[in-house]
Structure 1
Amino acid sequence: MKKNTMLLVAGGLTASLALSACGNNEDQRAAEAISASLMENASGEDEDGEFGVDQEQADCIGDGFVDKIGVDQLKEYGILTDDLETAGEVTDVQMSVEDADNAADVLVGCVDTSSLMADSFAEDDSMTEEEQACMMEAFNDDAMKKMFSLLFQGKEQEATADLMGPVMSCMMQGESMWGDDMSGEVGGDAASATVPPAPTMSDLSGDEAADPDAPGGQNNPLGLGDEFEVGDWTVKVNSVEEDATETILAENQFNEPPSEGNQFMLVNIDATYNGDTSGTAYWDLRPTFVTGTGNTAGGQLSDMCGSYPGNLMYEGEQFPGSTVTGNLCVSFPSDQVDGAMMITEVMDFDNNDRVFVELN
C-alpha cells in the first residue's frame, strides 16, 4: 500500500546514517567521520540518489549530531568508536528521548524531508491528486520530526502507527467506510482539498442493513462485555475510557491535544480469529464511532490520536482460534459522548455484517 512509499523514504534516510570513516580536534574529527560515512553510503547503496544526501547536508548532519548529542554520548550509543570512527547504524541504537528529539531536529533541519515525501507522493501513480495533497499536508516538518525521533528511539512500530493514521485518513477521505463516493469539491489549489462532512446515522443504514431492532442493530445495540460475530471474527468490547486525553498526552510528548471541543476516547476490545487461514484484527475490522447525536466521529486529520497505549495495530497477525486484546482510539465531541456507539464491520465489501455496541 502507500505505507511502503513513506517507509522507504524514512527508512532510506535513517539507513543512510549507516556509520565507517576517519578525520584535528575531537569534535571536528567526529563530525567529519559522520559526514564521510553519509557520503559513502549515499554513493554506494543509494546510487540513484533517491535517498542520498549531498555534501552540504552531510556536513550539516555531522556537525549537528556532535553539537546536539555530543561525542561522548555518540560513543556510548556505539555510533562512534573510541578512535572517532563511525561504526554500526543509527537505526540499530536506542537513543534517549532527548537525544532522539535532537537527532530528529538535526536531520529535518539539514535535509528537506517534507519535500522528499512530497516528491515520492507525486511519483506514486496509484494516488489521486486529492490523496497526494492530503499526504503533503499531513507529513509536515513537525510530523517528520516526530517520526524520526521514534525511529531513533528504536520504536519502529510506533513510527509506523503514526504514519498509518494520517495515511488511512487520507485514503478514506474520498469515500465512506462502505465504498460510497462522498468526495466533495476540491479547490484550484490541491493543498486545499477538503474532507467531506461526516455521514449521519441515516447514511449508515442502507437497503441491505440488518433489522435495526434485532440484537446488535441500530435501535438495539449490544453492551460492554457482549460478544458478537462479524466476518471471521468474534469481538467483545471490554471497556471504554471516555476521556482518555490525559492518558494519551502523557504517552508521548509529541502527541497533540484533540481539537477544541473534543476529547480522546480509548476503547478496549478482544478479537478472536475464527477463519481458516490468518487475519489481522487492526486491518480486518472496520470500527466506526457514532456520537450521541448520530454523527460519525474521528474522520478528520486533526482527529488523529498519535501514539497511545495498547494500540491494536501492534498486535500483528492472528491464526485460527487465537485472541488478541488491544485499544482503539478516537477523537470524540465532548458534548456528544452520551449515547455513543461503535459500529463494527469487516474490510469486505461483499460482507454487509455490522454490529452496533453502546459505549456508555
Structure 2
Amino acid sequence: MQNFEKIIDDSNLSTKRKTTSKILTVEDRKQWWRSRFTLDFQLQDILHHVESKWFGGFISGIFTNDNDVENESKNVFHKFKQDLMKILKDCLTVSDDKSNIERFLQFNEFIYYCFYSMEEYNYELVDDLIKFITINMNSHGRINLIDKVNKNKQNVTSNNKNNSNNNNNNNNSNSNNSQHIVLIPNANCSNFPWESMEFLRSKSISRMPSIHMLLDLVKSNTNNKNKLMFVDKSNLYYLINPSGEIGKLSSNEHEDYQDSILCEILKSHLFVYIGHGGCDQYIKVSKLFKKCGNNQDSSNKLPPSLLLGCSSVKLDNCNYNYNSNDYNGSGHDYGMKKLDLTNCVVQSRSKCTLKYLNGSAPVVYGLPMYLK
C-alpha cells in the first residue's frame, strides 16, 4: 500500500500550483503529461497485482450472484464438474483405498464454478485454483499430487472453451439483470480504488461504511414497490464553490449562512455540491446530526448527494450519512438510456484520459439511484 500512497501523493503534487506554474513551454507540458501517464500505468500495475495475487483464481466467481450456478444449464455445469473431477483424480495418488479420492474432491460448488466461469483459459488463475485444491487435499496427509497435474492444467478448462458461447450468452444475460455489488471495505483500505480492478470495472458497485448501515438502508426501501430508488431531479439544490462568498462573512453571518444551506439541502430531493472537499467544511457535523437525529421526522432526512470535489468521499471518524448516495467525479451524457448513477459511473471511467488515475476517482456510497 506504500507504493499506492506514493502514487497518490505524486499525483496530488503534480496538480498543485507550485508544479503547474512551472509549465511554461510545450516541452514542459509534454513532460508533465508523461509524468501523469507514468503514474497512471503504475496505478494500473498495482491494481493488477492486487487482482492477481490477492484474489487470484477466485475472481471469476467471487462476486457472482448466488443463483448464477442455478441459472446456468445444469447439465452443462454438471458435466464440466464431473470431467474436472476425473482430471483431478487422474493426477492424484493415495496411500490407501482409492475410493477415498472422490470423497476428498467434494469441494464447495463455488470452487468448481470458479473454473467453469472463466471465459477463456488463463494459466495464472487455473494455477492458483489448483494450488488451493492441492493445499486443502494435502492437509489430509494421505493424498499427494503428482507431476501429471502440470501437464493437465490446460485440460481443466477445456470444456470451458467448448461452452464459451454458452457462457458468454449467460454472462450477457446476467449483466443485463439488475445485479449490484456493495463493498464494505475496512477503514484502513477504504482509500484503495477496488472498483477499478479489471474484474470489477464493468460492474455496478457502491460502498457502505458497515453492514449495519447497509441493512438499515435496505429495510428503509422495502416499502418501495418498484424496488428501485428514484429521485425527482426537478427539486435540486446546487451549492457551487461557496468558499469565496463565505470568506466575506462575519462569524454570526457565517452561522446563519450554514443554517440556510442546511435548510435548503433538507428541502431538496437531490443535493449537488461542486467545490473543494466534500462540503463538510461549510456545515458543522454536529448541526447535521442534530437536524437529522429525529428519525420520525421525514422532512429532516438527508437527500441523495452528488459531491463533485476532491476527497469528497473520505470518511473521517465515521461521520457519514449512509442514507445518501454520494458520487465523487464527473458524469457523462447517455442520452435516453435508463441508467442508474452507479452504472453511469462505470461507463464514465473509460471516458477519462487517465483511465486509472482519474477514472478511479468516482466512488458511490449507498444504493443504485435513478433520476426521474
From the two aligned structures, give the one with the greater helix fraction: 2
Greater RCO (Cα-Cα under 8 Å, separation 6 or more): 2
Quick check: TM above 0.5? no
Larger Rg over CA atoms: 2
Structure having the higher strand fraction is 1
TM-score class, shorter: under 0.3
Normalised by the length of structure 2, the TM-score is: 0.26
